[in-house]
Structure 1
């Protein structure tokens, strides 16, 4: 996106959040590899890509949002977004005063046909200044459905420790199955034991498990775009498609081909 595109987007966001209606929406289309710089909203956001995949990064972690899902983004939390493939983004913004939804951190939620239809209808209200009986009904039904949406295991927490956070951000840029724990400990100026302890305390995962999650999140956009399992596995440094499939199944509960088909 150019600086002018960013300005236009943020002007639309500011206008959507200034409406008297407690719910508003914005439709935006982006080419692949678009980066929306760090920003935040005064309202909660439910972002859903009808096509394409989103990668969202905050100080708390990293989330991948495939086309069958949406990301709940709490109000005021700063985040940046990168697109994979052509993305048709539809976002709903909710006044925090109208919902008691207890999600205080980003969550990837599976989108049903009903929720997608509600998002599309609310986005069509973008230019409506005042609340209406119809927008109130759409909002009420959407809030009911959000509470029922299934959470997806597509989040990757980031450690708070500055050196570990730098290592993780670098790994997210170029994940590889070949990086050893000793290499990471050396870069972090820590012992293997200290590195593992900090990782578990700050992310709930071991370094190895965290890197497997990162590899899965890196692989998903490529798999959804049609890349073969073998190509993705070798790009990540796995010795074979079978080794990658075993790891993928361990993280998401099903092999990559079944996940892609679903």
Structure 2
């Protein structure tokens, strides 16, 4: 893992790495910010406060010092930018998932082949400067899962995640915690910014993304995450990702 201990030299560097299905990167931090861009496949990124799923044509901005781990689904080609936090004053200071434009993808791919040291006023320098300009235009995608802090909600969420096919309701959550549904709803809103139902939907969506990328059929994925109807699952998936599960699968596996 690059730049965990050593500082970044130039303001920005591009790096290519290919992962195999099942690969993991243990929790670590970088002394620089990182933009993790998936050309294909799925990357699960876990931080102390959130979990993210990065799919094809998406990128995750990870500020310097944020501890994170990676879990790979499918054979994934990653193109990463390592960026000095001071390279631009208005770069994000929190993790942010974004779609990656064809222009930015092309620039990153080109930058991988460029030397680390570049002369002022050259084409190489202008490419990296344009990349920094494009990073300032990233638009956040609401596709992440907040992680609870208190022990009771941690235990509940772990139990739900381990039995994600169960038809969970807010009433089930209330019984698990021994509290009223209103109290549980208030605790989720205060700690995670979501209702229990919204959190459950996000958890199922992230699980579905990984299962589909692993080769599960739409029907098997729907059943595995607690949907009796593949059509209801497909409607939910498309409303959140903009793609039907059938369109999502070949894009994740072969795009880029």
TM range (shorter): 0.7 to 0.9
Structure 1 residue aligned with 2:31: 42
Normalising by the residue count of structure 1, what TM-score does the alignment of the two structures yield? Answer: 0.83
Please give the alpha-carbon distance, in whole angstroms, between the structure 1 residues aligned to 2:228 and 2:109. Answer: 43
Gaps of 5+ in 1: 1-9
Structure 1 residue aligned with 2:3: 13
**Match among 219, 225, 236 for residue 247 of structure 1:** 236
Give the C-alpha shift of residue 18 in structure 1.
3.3
Matched, 1:27 2:16: yes
Gaps of 5+ in 2: 252-256
Give the C-alpha shift of residue 210 in structure 1.
0.8
**1:54-69 matched pairs, under 5 angstroms:** 54-69=43-58
**Match among 204, 228, 248 for residue 193 of structure 2:** 204
CA offset digits 1:204-262 (Å, max 9, x no partner): 21101110111111112333455432221112221111222343345446643455577
Please give the alpha-carbon distance, in whole angstroms, between the structure 1 residues aligned to 2:8 and 2:30. Answer: 13
Please give the alpha-carbon distance, in whole angstroms, between the structure 1 residues aligned to 2:23 and 2:175. Answer: 34
Indicate if the aligned counterparts of 2:98 and 2:141 stay in contact, CA closer than 8 A: yes
Normalising by the residue count of structure 2, what TM-score does the alignment of the two structures yield? Answer: 0.85
Structure 2 residue aligned with 1:3: none
Structure 2 residue aligned with 1:138: 127
**1:220-235 matched pairs, under 5 angstroms:** 220-224=209-213, 227-235=216-224
Structure 1 residue aligned with 2:138: 149
RMSD: 2.5
Give the C-alpha shift of residue 135 in structure 1.
4.4
**1:91-110 matched pairs, under 5 angstroms:** 91-110=80-99
Gap change, CA 1:189 and 1:103, over 3 Å in 2: farther
Please give the alpha-carbon distance, in whole angstroms, between the structure 1 residues aligned to 2:176 and 2:26. Answer: 28
Q: Which has the higher helix share?
A: 1
Structure 2 residue aligned with 1:5: none
CA offset digits 1:94-116 (Å, max 9, x no partner): 00111123422211111122111
Please give the alpha-carbon distance, in whole angstroms, between the structure 1 residues aligned to 2:76 and 2:26. Answer: 16
Gap change, CA 1:19 and 1:160, over 3 Å in 2: closer
